[in-house]
Amino acid sequence: MIDVETQDFASLQSDARFCVFTVRRKILRLYSQTQDFASLRSKLLQRIESPPMTEQTAKPTLPPIKGSWEDLAQQAARLASTQNDDAIPLYEKLISRLRALPETTRLANQGRLQAIFRNAAINFHTYLTVRERYDAALDLIPLIEEIEGEAKRAAWQYHKASVLYQAGRFDEAIAQLRARVEATPDFPTVHWGQLAMMHVHIGQPEAGAQVLDEAVQWLEQKVASAEKSVAQGDEDRALLASLQAQVALERRDLEGAIGYYERAILLDPYYDENLAILYMRMAQHGYAEAALPYILRDKQHAIRAGFWHGFVLKQLGKPTEAQRQWEKIAASDLAKTQERSLMEFVLAHYYLGDPKGEALGGILRLLKEDRGASWELLFLAGLGWGLRGNLQDARANLSVAVTRRKAMADGAKLPYESWIHAKALLSEEVQTQLSSYFETE
């Protein structure tokens, strides 16, 4: 994998060092509270148990013995880290030999060989996904399911659909998810949501709406037959209503989206406590005026709501008021908040121009401390460099961000929601140079 750009903030304007250090500490504090950006995702995604996709073994205190299983695994991992396809025969050799051993042998000594076997299979799958060798990556999933056990099978089946989607095999992705709501009588409501949103991802919001209509009928039957309790029914009704709101926005049905989301709020207080699920999507779809009341209602997430308040004010042609909102966020005392809104905190600085590199300096510091940082953090670094006109470093970070997304089968490019900010912040020339990393529509 390409190495992340880790230029220190001292290379920025020297007279800004104190400010950079101060803001960097704020970012570090906020990042320590939310390293996974989970609060930016809907409740649907929060319910998905994502399969692990990164190296799980801790670094040994001593180098492995040459020719050992650990040595072979490390050789493959080193080659994979530079996207060198010589890793492929090493992974194949390691996996085939370990698979041939009796399970009792792999499980001996606290499961030492089983752990190597598991990690090799998952890491090889990840590498093949990144390298767009999708057939081979998909062929590994049954083995991984066997290793992981029944408890994680559903997560890997969802992941399989994601790999198919990333490979552009949309019909197969839909069929994979459709089978999960037809093959067995008992499954969680979230499976309907995953199917519906897959339709949305491939540009079929009408089909997504039809799936959710099916889900509502299915759920009511489950509640009527007492297979689900009244409380479970209300929670799942709220989930489906929130998804119906998202699909309605994709269909350009603003009134319907508001109606569905208000229903979700009545059924489950979670949705009133997380209004950003609605107002962020509204703002991203250009419904600034409709988003504003929900932003103003969000008293629990001052940083997030404040950033999006500025965003919609700018959309409404009020740039001075927007700037005032972003200045409030940039001056926030993060020691007094437990809010998970690093993205918005940094973006507020960027929309103010980040003239002294304060926010970018903090992001670079985080990347130095966490080599496994999420693609969102790498996107912020790339965006910050693009804002300063440094195309080389912008590309370096955006390239790694894309690789991280591909590895998780989150998509072959950065999502359109990221492009919205790139379009708003970067010059046309820089946009042209960096657009290949993004979904631009």
Q: Sorting pLDDT into bands at 50, 70 and 90, what band is 185?
A: confident
Domains of the chain, by residue range, sit at 1-37+340-441, 57-158
Average pLDDT over residues 315-333: 94
Cα distance between residue 136 and residue 167, in whole Å: 12
Which pTM value belongs to this model? 0.83
pLDDT digit string (tens) for 373-394? 899 999 999 999 999 999 999 9
- With 80 as the cut, is the pLDDT of residue 371 above it? no
| Three-state secondary-structure class, residue 408 | coil
Cα distance between residue 307 and residue 295, in whole Å: 10
Q: Sorting pLDDT into bands at 50, 70 and 90, what band is 372?
A: confident
Q: Is 92 exposed, middle or buried (0-12, 13-18, 19+ CB in 10 A)?
A: middle
For residues 375, 378, 382, 387, the Cα torsion angle rounded to the nearest 10 degrees is 100
Buried/exposed 61-81: b ≥16 CB within 10 Å, e otherwise: eeeeeeeebbebbbbbbebbe
Average pLDDT over residues 220-229: 94
Average pLDDT over residues 221-240: 95
pLDDT at 61: 55
Cα distance between residue 380 and residue 370, in whole Å: 14
pLDDT digit string (tens) for 116-175? 999 999 999 999 999 999 999 999 999 999 999 988 998 999 999 999 999 999 999 999
- With 70 as the cut, is the pLDDT of residue 221 above it? yes
